[in-house]
Structures are given as C-alpha cells and as structure tokens.
Amino acid sequence: MPKPPTSNLQRPTSNAQPLTSSLQPLLSARLIIEEAPDEYTFRHSLTRDAVYSTLLARQRSALHRRVAETLEWLYPDPRDTLVPDLAFHFYAAGEWEKALTYSQRAGEAAQRMYAPREGIEHFTRAIQAAKNLGTVPFAKLYRARGHAYELVGEFEHARADQEAALDHARAAHDSYGEWQALVDLGFLWASRDYDHTGEYFRYALDLARTLGDPATLAKSLNRMGNWHLNREQPHLALTFHREALKIFQELNDRPGIAETLDLIALSYVEIGDWVQGEAYYRQAIALFRELDDRQGLSSSLAILAERGGWTLWGDVTVVPSVNLNEVVAEANEAIQLAREISWRSGEAFALIALGGVYYSKGDYARGLQFTRTSIAIAQEIEHQQWISLARSTLALVYMDLIALDEAEKEFILALQIAQRVQSAIMIDFASSGLASIYLQQGTLDKAQAVLDAALATSPDARAVLERENISKDEIHLTVMQRICLATYAELAFARGDPELALQIAERLISSTPNLTPDAVLPRLWRLRARVHISRQQFDLAENLLRAVQRVVAEQAVRPILWRVHTSLGELYQLQSRTDDAAREFSTARAIVQQLTDTIPDETLRANFSQRAAALLMP
C-alpha cells in the first residue's frame, strides 16, 4: 500500500455530498461551473486569480503542499502527464528537493514531446530549485534549457545557458560535459558567426581525441566536417564524415549513422553531385523515420526538396528528373515536422526550399509567399544565415520577374549579412546573383568587383580562370563557386572576350559530376550558344538551344523556357527565318502570359509584362 502523505489528509471517499453542498452557492453565483460529473472549474481565470491572491503566502504554500503530497500518494509512479502538476505544486510549496526532481522530469518529458516552451518553464524551475537548495545547478539542466531556447530561436538566452553549462562542466572537471557544451555552442553560433563555430568545434575535437570514446570522437568529426562544408571545402568535409561513418557503423550506432549519412549527402549536394546526394539522403531519411528523429527528418527532407529548385541547381549541375508533386510533398512534410517540434529555424529553411521549388516552376504567387514567410521567421529568431539565404532566394524571384532594382536591394542585403556571418556558401550565392544583376544593368565593373571578391579565396576557382592547362581531375568546386564562375563567363562575353567565356564554360562542363552525353546544363548551353551566334555558327547554336528547350520543357521550368524560345526567335531573325522566328516569339508570349497570371503584386505584374514584351519585339 502507498504511504499516506504527512499532512493528515484522509483518503478520498465516494461520499462527495458535503463537498457538493459547499460548492452549491458558488455554482449559483456562477463563479464556478461543472465541466463533468464531480469535476468543477472556475468560470473565469480572473476569478481564480482573485481568490488565489486573497490567500496568505503561507496558506498558499500549505495548500500546494497538500495537493502535491496527495497526488504523490495517489499516484506513486506518476505518468509524464501528471509530473508537471507535481513539479508545479512542489515548487509553489517551496519543497525544493522534490521540485528539482519533478521539474527536471517534466522538462525531459517536454523534450520528448517536442514542446520547447514547456521545457523552458520546467527547466527554469529546476534550476531555481537547485539554487534554493544551495547546490550548484546541474550543467545538464542549463544545457537542456539552452537547447529549448535554441529551438524557439532565442539566441541570447540559449548562449547564456550553454556558456553556463560549459563553466559548470569545467568546474566539476567533467570532460564529457565540457565537450558537449563546446559542441552545443558551436551549433548555436552557426546561425550567427561561422568563425566562432569553427573555434568551438576545433576545441571539441581536440578534447574528444583525449576521451577514449569512439562515439564522441565520431560526433566531433561530423561537426568539423560540416564546418568545412560551410567554408566551401566539401571534399575535405567528406574525409571527416567518412571517418565518422566508419566508427558509427562499427558501433552499430543507428542515430550516429543516420546523422552522418545526412551530412555526407549534403557534402555531395554542395559538390554538385545530386545523384550521390539523393542516394545518401534516401538512406538517412529511412533511418530518421525508424528512429522518429523529427528534426533530422525535417532537415533531410527540406534539402532533398531543394533539387526541385531547378532554376538554381539545374543551370550548372546535373539534377535527376524531378516530380513537382514529390518535391512539394517533401518540403511540406519538412515544414509540418518542424512546426510539430517548434523548430523555428527548421521551419524557415523548409519554407525557403518550398518557395524555391514553386518559383522555379513559374508559380510566382506561392514562390513569393513562402519565401517572404521564411524571411519573417528568420528575422524573428535572428537566424542570420537563413535571412541571407531567404533574401537571395527572394532576389532570384525578382530577377526572374525582371524587377532588377528590387533584386539588387535584396542581393546586397543578403551579401552584407553573409559577410558578417562569414558563411562562404551564402557569400557566393549572393555575390553570383548581384553580379548577374549588374551585368543586366550594364555596370560591368561592379560585376567584376563582386565576383573577384567572392572567388579570391578559392584556389580552384582562380585556377579555372587563370590556368591554360588544367584537367577536370584538378578542379574541385562547390555548386556556388560554379554559379559564380558561370556568371564570370557571362561577364567575359559581355566584355567582348568570347574565348575566355567559352574556356570557363568548357572547364565547368568537363568537371561536372554525372555528366552523360545527353545531359544539359541550361545556363552553360545558352552561353555557348551566344558564343556560337557571335561567330555566326548558327547550326551549333540552334542545337544547343533546342537541347535546353527539350530539358526545361520536360521539367516544366517555365521561367527558363520562355527565354529559350526568345533566344531561338532572335536566332531565326538573324537568319531571316521569319516564320520560325514568329512561331518562337508567339510561344514565348504565351508562356509569359501564363507566368504573368501567377504574379500577385500589381506593380510587379505590370513591370514583368512590360519588360518581357520589350524583349519579345520581333
């Protein structure tokens, strides 16, 4: 039999008549209501608060103690759903030992239920209870609350907790706790400053090598690998991740294997190898589902859905055929999972992916909607990397809509943020777009300056530009570097140097992973066609443009498709093929009209219609 509480409470009996009689005046006064048989509640929370405030502090504490002890007596092995009530009442009663125990349990239960706001509340009580006991608060309590703050996007609170966890671990000579705090701080700073992230991850890796724990070492290897990836060193990142994968496989550590497969997949994507990237993501996603790792699953699904952002990736890399419904479903699931666990940064990233998918297909209404929503969330939680990424994505939509001034403003903002964060990937992304805008505006010197700054730190990119004899095996580029170099080739053509333009394009093509004889890289094919047209090699140019038309039509990439038909019309005009030119311009106009109908903003719609019509003048 459970031991009764110490406050002389009697076990409740089935005779509830005296209580009912006492409550009747309150029912008549409509101060309380009966929700169910023998279950009553205050009609309004203000009434409850008013009654509560009339009690003396000692009375309140005593009542909370009686409630807590009664619950504990009735439920000696309480379920997770009851633990928060025990934590609250013991805390309000000033019973600090039990308040600490139950508050910690309640916080951990909230973590399992992906309820970070509730977790923050419970861990805060646990920390305060520990302080009231005169003991040093557990480092793991600060760490747990820091994670919850990070999930909901409260950076400064998260940083304070993780730094406190690090201090307490060091004071207790807890090497593993110190390592964990270093990793947590590295993760946290990834949204703000990648230099700080690298410092924490390096310290953590050095410490991990001294601990003699293979799993800890593998986790640190993954962190350093991912840091190198974000510094645009994906080949180096893969060496860290492969070492980590071998360790996790030897340990049969399934969560570790899943995380590492995800990171390997991302490295391949950054190299521009979507074939390998998708294969690894499929393995990671299957494991994340088995493990019910919703955060890992959301992240993997969002990045996998990015292959549907075809106007970015498909221009300079080989992307396998993409089904729109499939990638939209992946992105939507990623968003839903992030919302279920209140993971605001994950939600923002998944929304960026979904916006990119829609605008690539020419659905500008939804492309703008999701991209703008992602910016709002990223700004709310001050996630600088995602603000930069989302603004660059929004700028791409504006560029597609020929709203060059708007696109320029967004790219400049994105670049400034990326430079503050020191994220090489985001710097290249924004730089390539901004240089493209300057090219279209005819300010070639500005375009040159932006590209030179972006490519200055990449030996491989500089080699593509400067070395006459370079084999494809010597070229190790990221996708973003490829995009910058493609823009550089377009700049060379605009400056009247078609030879350099073609040289850069051919080097990019020869070093593209998974390039089969029938593969097409639309941006580079179109550039090559322009070079051939300048040389009056019309048949070669037509073949290239027809190849692009076939691929983008199959993928329904309408923002590129109308431009290809326009280029074909211009080519046929040069050859005096009047009927063929008229047909191509007519097809382009029809696509432009379809796209115009999807633009929700009246000003953007009118601007696009006017500027596109000017380009389609026969």
pLDDT in tens, 575-602: 999 999 999 999 999 999 999 999 999 9
User: Interior CA angle at 157 toward 152 and 163, to 5°?
Assistant: 120
Mean pLDDT in residue range 2-25: 51
Exposed / middle / buried, residue 321 (Cβ in 10 Å: 0-12, 13-18, 19+): exposed
Q: What is the largest distance, in Å, between two alpha-carbon atoms of the chain?
A: 104
| pLDDT tops 70 at residue 42 | no
Q: What is the mean pLDDT of residues 250-269?
A: 97
pLDDT given for residue 51 in this prediction: 60
Q: How far apart are CA 587 and CA 585, in angstroms?
A: 5
Q: How far apart are CA 330 and CA 100, in angstroms?
A: 41
Question: What is the reported pLDDT for 453?
Answer: 95
Q: Looking at per-residue confidence, does 350 or 469 come out higher?
A: 350
Token pair of 81 as six digits: 């759903």
Residue 478 near residue 269, CB atoms below 8 Å: no
Name the residue with tokens 């499939």. 326
Give the per-residue pLDDT at 318: 87
Q: How confident is the model at residue 11 (pLDDT cuts 50, 70, 90)?
A: very low
Output the CATH code of domain 516-618.
1.25.40.10
CA atoms in the 13 A half-sphere facing the CB of 609 = 13
Angle between helices 175-189 and 194-211 (to 10 degrees): 160
| Domain coordinates in residue numbering, the chain | 1-54, 516-618
Residue 271 · residue 228 · CB < 8 Å: no
Report the chain's terminal Cα–Cα distance, integer Å: 93
Please state the separation of Cα 84 from the chain's center in Å. Answer: 32
Average pLDDT over residues 353-364: 94
Position 299 pLDDT exceeds 70? yes
pLDDT tens across 62-74, in order? 887 887 788 878 7
| Mean pLDDT over each residue of the chain, to the nearest integer | 89
Q: How much helix, strand and coil, in percent to the nearest 5, is found in the chain?
A: 75, 0, 20
Report residue 498 as tokens: 């078609």
How many whole angstroms separate alpha carbon 337 and alpha carbon 329? 12
How far, in Å, CA of 439 to CA of 575, rounded? 27
